[in-house]
Amino acid sequence: MNPEKGFFTHQEILSQPAAWAVALEVLAAERQVILAVGSGHFDQILYTGCGSTYYLAEAAASLTQELSGRTCRSFPASELWLNPQSSYSFGNTLLVAVSRSGETTETLRACEAFLTDRAGDLLTLSCYEEMPLAKLGALNLVFPSGQEQSVAQTRAFSTLYFGTVALACLWAGRVDLFDSLGRLPEAGRQVLNNYASLAAELGQDPALERFYWLGSGPRHGLACELSLKMKEMSLTHSEPFHFMEFRHGPKSMVTSQALTIGLRSTRNGSYEAAVLEDVKALGGRVLDMAEDGADVRFASNLDEAIRNILYLPVGQLIAFERSLSKGLNPDCPTNLDTVVIL
């Protein structure tokens, strides 16, 4: 008997905290090797992926630079493959390649070209040990707990992102942050328990026609990913923006049928809250997500650098509920394949 629409996606979203806990066991076991790889002299660290994992790469590069002070950049794998001269044509580079499947053609070709060019060292993160990517790097981190049956990434994305957060903590010498990662699964469970019903209410609201996701710094890549989830699962107009950039043109699209979701930080929270107030003044609807004083309140007591992952589950659920409300199947988005193989 076929499962009901969205069965797999729903289970994958709800099981994310448990997947993070298992991923932490992998990271703890490889801790010394991760430190050894990161201790090399690198002029830059590059993160790469395709689709969702490209947005993951953006978030990871931003966080790693913020914590470690090293120069970090992110590129779609196709750019590293086809335009390497504008990506890593100088200095010694550490390339961190991320792929759920471990067999995406563009990512494999980018890594192979990078190694052929002797541009530096390669570290990979994926979910399937038997796939080609997990055999290419000087270190290959595999997170089976992120494996999925759905086409659209949810559990895989957050689990692989969790892995890059751990890398950033270790390479920055922030042992305190790495040790506190073990508190994230419980924080994630609380967010899901507290706000699943709100996500359902918003996702199923027929008055909403478009969604805007605002996030800055390490949260911009996460805003891009959540916007992609809305597009993939529900075929709904959805766009991501940096918080302050929303005033520079995009706010002209605000209507009462638009929901603006803010991934609000603590450090710049007052500036970002002011943007959301502008949206309200224009008649738009707002969902504020933050550690405290927000519609979705994490109350995690965790450092901002590692709690960014908590924005993901509620945003994913909104997209999931929107898909169901439109009679679609979020497990099998229109026109998409699980892996792009050229």
Judge whether residue 89 has pLDDT over 70.
no
Q: Is the pLDDT of residue 336 over 80?
A: no
Beta-carbon contacts of residue 241 (< 8 Å; ≥ 6 apart) = 212, 213, 214, 223, 250
d(CA 249, CA 96): 34
Does residue 27 register a pLDDT over 90? yes
pLDDT in tens, 280-309: 999 999 999 999 999 999 999 999 999 999
Amino acid at 197: S
Is the separation of the CB atoms in 210 and 238 below 8 Å? yes
DSSP state for residue 110 in the 8-state scheme: H
Q: CATH 3.40.50.10490 occupies which residues in the chain? A: 7-183, 206-325
* Mean pLDDT, rounded, for 110-131: 95
How distant, in Å, are the alpha carbons of 50, 81, 111, 115, 281 from that of 105? 10, 10, 10, 15, 47
CATH topology of domain 206-325: Rossmann fold (3.40.50)
What's the chain's average pLDDT? Answer: 95
Residue reference for tokens 């890398």: 167
The sign of the CA dihedral 185, 311, 229, 54 is negative
If we measure between CA atoms, which residue out of 143, 145, 141 comes closest to residue 12?
A: 145
- How far is residue 287's CA from residue 213's CA, in Å, rounded to a whole number? 10
Residue 119, helix vs strand vs coil: coil
C-alpha to C-alpha distance for 208 and 210, rounded to whole angstroms: 6
Indicate the pLDDT class of residue 1, thresholds 50, 70 and 90.
Answer: very low
CATH 3.60.20.30 assigned to domain 7-183? The reply is no
Summarize the confidence of residues 16-36 as an average pLDDT: 97
The mean pLDDT of 210-221, rounded to a whole number, is 98
Q: How confident is the model at residue 337 (pLDDT cuts 50, 70, 90)?
A: low
